[in-house]
Structure 1
Amino acid sequence: MEWLVPLEEYIKAGVHVGMRIKTKDMKKFIAKIKEDGLAIIDINKTDERLRLATKMLSKYSPNEILVVGRRETARRPIEMLKKYTGILTYPGRYPPGLLTNVSLKTFKDVEIVFITDPILDKNALLDAYKTGKIIISLVDTNNTLQYIDLAIPANNKGAKSLALIYYIITREYLRSKGIIPKKAELDVPYDYFMEQTIEEEI
């Protein structure tokens, strides 16, 4: 099957770069471990699961999806996703009750929650689980798979990696909805999704 983006693009963006910390849950997603102990994520599995995730997301309307990401490198990618798709997003610190307290003005009644990092976004992850939402999450080698319905193994810290991942999700969602042609790209390159005001974090 054709890659969502060429392998070279994944490599250039560092999507495959894991961490020295490796959980048991993530062993099946690790292609190799370098001499310095750094784990390398299996890009085949990243691409395969990104494809599954975008197909799943395409079954829902924008107001049925919530994407969260507290990490600073995730903020612009998430904001760009919202700009192009209209999908509900919450970059930055997840506020208590967003998914659970119906009396809040900010309450989000969604069907599916997309998590950038299960550790930093643990409050959103727990609220999504408690309320029975479908949970999709990016997972690095230091993460576990607890509460996650569909895990996408990837570098969920680097600015370039997150920009490319959210670019792909945005493009595939628009293609699936028929908003852009099946083979069309967005009108900006993926690095336009990248947070420019901070140093690259891998």
Structure 2
Amino acid sequence: MSEEIRETQQQPQEQTPPPAQETFKPRPPGQRVTMKELLEAGVHFGHQKERWNPKMKKFIFTERNGIHIIDLQQTLQYFEKAYDYIADLVANGGKVLFVCTKKQGQDIVKEEAERCGMFYVNKRWLGGTLTNFQTIRKSVFKLKMLKKMEEEGVFDQLPKKEAVKLRRKKEKLEKYIGGIENMNRLPDALFIVDIVREENAVREARKAGIPIVALVDTNADPDLVDIPIPANDDAIRAIRLLTSRIADAVLEGKMRREAVKLAEGEEADFIPEEE
């Protein structure tokens, strides 16, 4: 299947938009994503039948012109399950790491993770991100130190050659770990686009006992993840649609968490003091 061309949208620059959490309005169950949206985004297109994984048989509706067609009724069913899981997780204080290093999904994952205030890996999965977390944190510490040095003008006081070297180091660290810079502990779940490509992330998450929600195409093994969402994981529109709705689940979870905090605070105001 050929990659789809992302549509460019111009957004006004003069005004700062309100935080996503303030403008987000949860969709009711059954409307979080629709069959029409899935069809329009090409979520039903799998890989060529020669590339299939037999474990995906239960998710395949038919075969058309040598291409497996995914059963979108099951996509809807598993998406709802994934949405509820992520929303409940975040409502209880959980954190989600979004992962997609394939070119057509890199910007989408970054945008959606930032929109919902979660973490992301979108360039390259560094070995040990989950299984050797303390070493990764050391690299994060280096990044923060370099950013602070740049902000305070330290680079400008150094010899040009040394300053260039440090700036390149900062840019490289920012490229690979910028999305997990503020991830001070292991995430409570991963959302992955393309588990075949992200096999290292899948392996580390399983080893660390971290649940995985993922878009699973017809060439993948759904048994490797906790909640598979059978879907085209190559088309830009498909990736954007489902990733954005998982980000919505995060935002809904945050809203529920804030509502509970507010309610608990209001109750505390009415508790009479003991005499």
Please state which band the TM-score falls in when normalised by the shorter chain.
Answer: 0.7 to 0.9
2:198 to 103, 117, 121: 121
Alignment map for 1:140-179 (pairs within 5 Å): 140-178=217-255
Amino acid at match of 2:193: T
Distance (Å, rounded) in 2 between the aligned partners of 1:45 and 1:25: 15
Once the two structures are superposed, residues 17-48 of structure 1 have per-residue CA deviations (whole angstroms, 9 ceiling, x without a partner) of 101122111010011111x2101111111111
Once the two structures are superposed, residues 39-87 of structure 1 have per-residue CA deviations (whole angstroms, 9 ceiling, x without a partner) of 1111111111111111111123376211111111111221122222111
Distance (Å, rounded) in 1 between the aligned partners of 2:31 and 2:61: 17
Amino acid at match of 2:47: M
Alignment root-mean-square deviation, CA: 1.9
Distance (Å, rounded) in 2 between the aligned partners of 1:119 and 1:161: 17
Amino acid at match of 1:103: T
Alignment map for 1:56-95 (pairs within 5 Å): 56-61=85-90, 64-95=95-126
1:63·1:87 contact (CA, 8 Å) conserved in 2? no
Scaled by the length of structure 1, the TM-score of the pair is 0.81
1:173 to partner: Cα distance: 2.8
Corresponding residue for residue 136 of structure 2: 104
Higher relative contact order (CA 8 A, sep 6+): 2
1:28 to 48, 52, 58: 58
Matched residues, percent identical?
28
Distance (Å, rounded) in 2 between the aligned partners of 1:177 and 1:111: 15
Verify: 1:47 aligned to 2:76, yes or no. Answer: yes
The structure in which a higher percent of residues are helix is 2
2:43·2:238 contact (CA, 8 Å) conserved in 1? yes
Q: What is the SS of the residue equivalent to 1:110?
A: coil
Distance (Å, rounded) in 2 between the aligned partners of 1:81 and 1:123: 22
Corresponding residue for residue 45 of structure 2: 17
2:89·2:253 contact (CA, 8 Å) conserved in 1? no
Larger gyration radius, structure 1 or structure 2: 2
Amino acid at match of 2:60: I
Verify: 1:134 aligned to 2:211, yes or no. Answer: yes
- Name the CA shift for 1:64/1:172 in 2 (closer, same or farther; >3 Å): closer
2:34·2:76 contact (CA, 8 Å) conserved in 1? no
Distance (Å, rounded) in 1 between the aligned partners of 2:36 and 2:224: 32
Q: What is the SS of the residue equivalent to 2:224?
A: coil
Q: Specify every segment of 5 or more residues in structure 1 that has no aligned partner in the other structure, as ranges.
A: 180-202
Distance (Å, rounded) in 1 between the aligned partners of 2:108 and 2:87: 18
1:3 to partner: Cα distance: 4.1
Q: Specify every segment of 5 or more residues in structure 2 that has no aligned partner in the other structure, as ranges.
A: 1-28, 141-182, 257-275
- Where has structure 1 moved over 6 Å in runs of 4 or more? none
Count of aligned residue pairs for this structure pair: 178
Distance (Å, rounded) in 2 between the aligned partners of 1:83 and 1:103: 24
Q: What is the SS of the residue equivalent to 1:99?
A: coil
Once the two structures are superposed, residues 74-123 of structure 1 have per-residue CA deviations (whole angstroms, 9 ceiling, x without a partner) of 11221122222111111121011110112322475112112211111011
